[in-house]
Amino acid sequence: MEDDKVNSRDKARIAIMELANMISVPMSLNAVIRLNVPDAIWQGGANTPLSATQILSLVLPSGGGDPENLQRVLRMLTSYGVFIEHLDANSSERKYSLTDIGKTLVTDADGLSYGPYVLQHHQDALMGAWALVHEAVLDPTTEPFVKANGEPAYSYYGKKPEMNGLMQKAMAGVSVPFMKNVLNSYNGFEGVNKLVDVGGSAGDCLRMILQKHPTVKEAINFDLPEVVAKAPHIPGVTHVGGDMFKSIPAADAIFMKGKG
């Protein structure tokens, strides 16, 4: 019985140490995305197992880089199901290919992937806010992002073109594959003349809806003013800024995506 208690305490200590170091996982993801590792391995669909040295030769064609450090990152993410590690019986060299999870980070024909979504969640402004989460308990009147950066997230992004662009690319990378699945199985937009997408970001979902359902004559992309100010022109789509908690433009149907 005493041995069981000791074993349980040992497991608990290991578990809390793992939790304390969980930041290494998203930071490693950030690293491979910034280094274009998924695209280097994918090579147009080949997904041929490559060593860290081979990957570096593709992402840094002029030379340089440390394959040992890259391999450490790859092995870390292999343990979380992003890569598959291949061991050659005739060599000590380790090679890596992409799992289905890793493939979500590959840039597709539309220039999209889940890579920007990962990067967007770990920008300095957001990381600084995470360090103040405990203060949201002590003082709920001001959210951590405001305490860290002096203003709400979307107004802050609106003043930072690079951050705003990354956020829109992140939303497109998530929304487009989601919308493809919806349009393949859902016909609820038939017969709708005027449609509003609440929280539509750059308007990608409405663009796809209009392509499949040209009977929708008026489409409104409704989001915060700071967001739609940077949205691109899309034929048939009107970008409208506002606050959904105050009012939403009238329409035959309102479309809103949620996180499951």
pLDDT at 48 over 60: yes
Q: Using one digit for the tens of pLDDT, what is the confidence trace for 125-155?
A: 999 999 999 999 999 999 999 999 999 988 8
If asked whether residues 130 and 102 sit together in one domain, one would say: no
* Longest distance between any two alpha carbons in the chain, whole Å: 73
Mean pLDDT of 157-171: 87
In a domain, 60, yes or no: yes
Residue 259 has what pLDDT? 57
If asked whether residues 102 and 210 sit together in one domain, one would say: no
If asked whether residues 197 and 88 sit together in one domain, one would say: no
DSSP letter for each residue of the chain? -HHHHHHHHHHHHHHHHHHHTTTHHHHHHHHHHHTTHHHHHHGGGT---EEHHHHHHHH-TT----HHHHHHHHHHHHTTTSEEEEE-TT-S-EEEEE-HHHHTTS--TTS--SHHHHHHTT-HHHHHHHTTHHHHHH-TTS-HHHHHHSS-HHHHHHT-HHHHHHHHHHHHHHHHHHHHHHHHH--TTTT-SEEEEET-TTSHHHHHHHHH-TT--EEEEEE-HHHHTTPPP-TTEEEEE--TTT-----SEEEE----
Mean pLDDT of 196-223: 93
If asked whether residues 97 and 8 sit together in one domain, one would say: yes
Residue 260 has what pLDDT? 46
If asked whether residues 99 and 170 sit together in one domain, one would say: no
pLDDT at 158 over 60: yes
C-beta of residue 40 within 8 angstroms of C-beta of residue 117: no
Q: Using one digit for the tens of pLDDT, what is the confidence trace for 5-30?
A: 778 899 999 999 999 999 999 999 99
In a domain, 115, yes or no: no
Residue 208 has what pLDDT? 93
If asked whether residues 143 and 249 sit together in one domain, one would say: yes
Q: Could you give the CA distance from residue 119 to residue 29 in angstroms, rounded to a whole number? A: 8
Q: Other CB atoms closer than 10 Å to residue 177's CB: what's the count?
A: 16
If asked whether residues 164 and 198 sit together in one domain, one would say: yes
* CATH number (domain holding residue 77): 1.10.10.10
pLDDT at 258 over 70: no
Q: Which of 36, 45, 49 is nearest to 96 (CA)?
A: 49
Q: Using one digit for the tens of pLDDT, what is the confidence trace for 65-99?
A: 999 999 999 999 999 999 999 997 777 889 999 99
In a domain, 113, yes or no: no
If asked whether residues 171 and 209 sit together in one domain, one would say: yes
Sheet of 237-241, strand order: 237-241, 218-223, 194-198, 253-256
Q: Using CA atoms of 137, 142, 147, 149 in order, give the dihedral in degrees to the nearest 10.
A: 130
If asked whether residues 90 and 165 sit together in one domain, one would say: no
Residue 196 has what pLDDT? 96
> Looking at 73, 106, 139, which one is the last position of a domain?
106
Indicate the angle between helix axes 67-78 and 24-34, nearest 10 degrees. Answer: 120
Q: Identify the residue whose tokens are 């929280």.
A: 199
If asked whether residues 177 and 223 sit together in one domain, one would say: yes
If asked whether residues 68 and 163 sit together in one domain, one would say: no
Containing structural domain, residue 56: 2-106
Mean pLDDT of 191-196: 94
Among 129-133, 174-178, 221-225, the range of highest mean pLDDT? 129-133
If asked whether residues 45 and 158 sit together in one domain, one would say: no
